[in-house]
Chains A and B, each alone.
Chain A
Amino acid sequence: MRKREIWKGSEVIAEAAIRAGCRCFFGYPITPQNEIPEYMSLKMPQAGGVFVQAESELAAINMVYGAAASGMRAMTSSSSPGISLKQEGISYLVGAQLPAVIVNVMRGGPGLGSIQPSQGDYYQATRGGGNGDYRTLTLAPATLQEAADLMGEAFDIADTYRNPVMVLVDGLIGQMMEPIVWEDRPGRTLPTKVWAAQGRRGRDHNNFVTSLYMDPADCEQHNLALAEKYAAMEANECRWEELMTDDARLILVSFGTPARVAETAMRNLRQEGLKVGLLRPITLWPFPGRRLGELAGEDHVKGFLDVEMNLGQMLDDVKLAVNGSKPVQFYGRCGGAIPHVAEVQEAARRALEEVE
């Protein structure tokens, strides 16, 4: 049997990145994710990699851009206000078709907000966030084991599609401790980075990594080529977990920390004989909307309750998926507050009463 070890969330993310072959980290301190750069400053050099504490998040993401453009597995992490500053660089990474992994350990906002866990950056992560017409594949682990497993996937997906991948967790997952097992990951067969600017070294042409297309016809073609990648990600990379949806009358939809709360609420309600299920998106973009739409079409499903740590952002995606065919209710806490099991149970009972 593999060894179970107790780890802290942020350190799991950092260690999993090193195990996934990431050999450079660029970051700037911000609570609640300081353990990531701290861990990296110690362990990255030991792994033969590079750690730089940047002067700002703007600089950090542009260091990632440079390292990625020269063919490296590169990563940065931050929390909400810092991720806002990184949006410039994320847009350029997409435009220049560069793989990289960006971790956001979300805290309360807007502005400085609070340093407590939040999911207030769902829109920013799933709608692009920076300028331009683009998508960032977003992974949202709900346990430390899942975080450990998904980091390697994040780098592989980024390399497969030459697109940045965001790992979106709330501050609770960054700060909590939990037992995990380090599994060997098979890894994907990845394309070689023939486009990388790392010196010609005998190549008969120069590589020029850029996001600039001055001719609108070229820029349109570029955007259409990006759109094909997004379509491929939607077809191949969408992930979710379903619990007890087979006979559920009410389906809870939730990701990250509140999904754990919702799962407990669901199990308690099941003990009372109430048929409640849970759909937990693991990729927030692409969103498992097609599956939700299928569930909405089932006769036994009478409604949905979306549970988030914000004012209702994923709610838009749930409503789009359900498309008016069944009622969608919402329960959320925000600004750094975490929903209690009893609150979610209460909201679920109310939702059930309304739909029955």
Chain B
Amino acid sequence: MTVIYEKTRGLQNTPLHYCPGCGHGIVHKLIGESLDELGLLDTAVGICPVGCAVFAGSYFSCDCIEAAHGRAPAVATGVKRTHPDQCVFTYQGDGDLASIGTAEIVHAAMRGEKFTTIFINNAIYGMTGGQMAPTTLVGQKATTAPDGRDPATAGWPIRMAEMLSTLEGLVYAHRVCVVDIPHLNEAKKAIKRAFQLQMAGAGFTFVEVLSPCPTNWGMEPLEANRWLMEHMAAYYPLGVIKDMGGEPG
């Protein structure tokens, strides 16, 4: 019998708790596969966020640390500086990274910390039930923006990958999405490149993933994927935003 497809060793056998059509589980799988294929599972340390992915440490089969809301980049700094040979990554939502933890992510990037951040941008606070995030699109409804985000009072959505790319310490920023197989393949390539550049000591690496939250967007999964491509990808352009990495040896 030939094995055509098998579950990655990068994930444990715990059932995922994510909603149907959620992007989190897909990105977990891509990270697990990437760590396994790069031979990093045994030395990796993942820093988990506060948000729907708060249980990520029960899913990844590498060692994990649960951080306080937004502080994952500081926690990762503490791990990576004291264990420079290890693969360290943070996994963070948009409330976590682009709101409460803005200082931590900006300064980790500024210092050129040699870890990787996987940023799950679903334009909403998933875990707490659909409140407005800093990444919520103009006009997009949220439980704390019942008439849709109004720039007059809530400002404009923040493009983290572009903003962080202005910093010298960031060597790689790539925005991807997980709505279909070609985009999934692209996302996995980005995650692998980020890990490879990290292990080559190049600097801070950042992969932003546009990720559907059908539950809090109030959509069916396929409709959510279409909405993501039509609206989110229009405001948050997909592709490589910065790559100073060269050949990661």
A residues bordering B, Cβ < 8 Å?
Answer: 23-24, 26, 50, 52, 54-56, 58-60, 62-70, 72, 74, 88-89, 92, 96, 197-202, 206-212
Count CB-based A-B contacts (< 8 Å). 140
Q: Residue of B at shortest CB range from A23?
A: B82
Kindly state the separation between the CA atoms of A88 and B103 in the bound complex, as whole angstroms: 15
The answer to whether A62 touches B63, judged by C-beta atoms less than 8 angstroms apart, is no
B200: chain A residues at CB < 8 Å are none
Interface stretch among B69-77, B91-99, B139-147?
B69-77
Cβ–Cβ contact A210 & B78, under 8 A = no
- Are A92 and B107 within 8 A (Cβ)? no
**Cβ of A24: which chain B residues have Cβ within 8 Å of it?**
78, 81-82
Judged by a CB distance under 8 angstroms, whether B223 is at the interface is: no
Closest-CB distance, A95 to chain B (whole angstroms): 9
Q: Assess the B103–A58 pair: CB atoms within 8 A.
A: yes
Q: Which of B41, B68, B83 has the most CB of A within 10 A?
A: B68
Asked if A70 and B79 sit within 8 Å, CB to CB, the answer is yes
Q: Does B243 contact A (CB under 8 A)?
A: no
Query: Are B104 and A199 closer than 8 Å at their CB atoms?
Result: no
Q: List 12 A-B contacts (CB under 8 A).
A: A55-B104, A65-B74, A66-B65, A67-B78, A69-B78, A88-B68, A197-B64, A199-B42, A199-B83, A206-B62, A208-B57, A208-B63
Contacts of B82 in A (CB 8 A): 23-24, 50, 67, 70, 72, 74
3 smallest CB-CB distances across A and B, nearest first, come from A66-B78, A62-B74, A66-B75
Q: Are A92 and B63 in contact (CB under 8 A)?
A: no
Point out the residue from A67, A88, A201, A209 that lies within 8 Å of B66, measured CB to CB: A209
- Stretch of B43-51, B165-173, B226-234 contacting A (4+ beta carbons < 8 Å): B43-51
Measured CA separation A72–B61 after assembly (Å): 22
Q: Which residues of B contact A68 (CB under 8 A)?
A: 78
CB within 8 Å of A: which residues of B?
Answer: 12, 41-45, 47-48, 54-55, 57-58, 60-68, 71, 74-79, 81-83, 86, 103-104, 106-107, 111
Expressed in whole angstroms, the minimum distance between the Cβ of A88 and any Cβ of chain B is 6
User: Cα distance A79–B160 when bound, in Å?
Assistant: 33
Q: In the complex, what residues of B have CB within 8 A of residue A58's CB?
A: 71, 74, 103-104
Do B57 and A67 have beta carbons less than 8 Å apart? no
Interfacial chain B residues near A211, Cβ < 8 Å:
66
- Please tell me which one of the listed residues B12, B60, B65 contacts residue A209 in the complex, with CB atoms under 8 A apart: B65
Question: Do B78 and A207 touch (CB < 8 A)?
Answer: no
Tell me the nearest residue of chain A to B44, going by C-beta: A199
For A197, the chain B residues whose CB sits under 8 A away are: 45, 63-65, 79
Residue of A nearest to B61 (CB): A206
- Per the bound structure, the CA–CA distance linking A58 and B72 in Å amounts to 11
Interfacial chain B residues near A50, Cβ < 8 Å: 81-82
Distance in Å: Cβ of B55 to nearest Cβ of chain A: 8
- Residue of A69, A199, A202, A207 near B75 (CB, 8 A) is A69
Q: Which residues does chain B contribute within 8 Å of A62, judged by CB atoms?
A: 67-68, 71, 74-75, 78, 104
Shortest Cβ distance from A55 into chain B, in angstroms? 4
Q: Which of B12, B41, B63 contacts A207 (CB 8 A)?
A: B63
Interface pair A200/B62, CB less than 8 Å apart? yes
Q: Are A66 and B63 in contact (CB under 8 A)?
A: no
Give Cα A285–Cα B76 distance, bound, in whole angstroms.
Answer: 31
For B64, the chain A residues whose CB sits under 8 A away are: 197, 206-210
> Looking across the interface, which residue of chain B has its beta carbon closest to that of A73?
B82
On whether the beta carbons of B103 and A65 are closer than 8 Å, the reply is no
Least CB distance from A172 to B in Å reads 31
Q: CB distance A212 to B66 under 8 Å?
A: yes
Residues of A near B45 (CB, < 8 A) are 70, 197-199
What residue of chain B has the Cβ atom nearest to residue A54's Cβ? B74
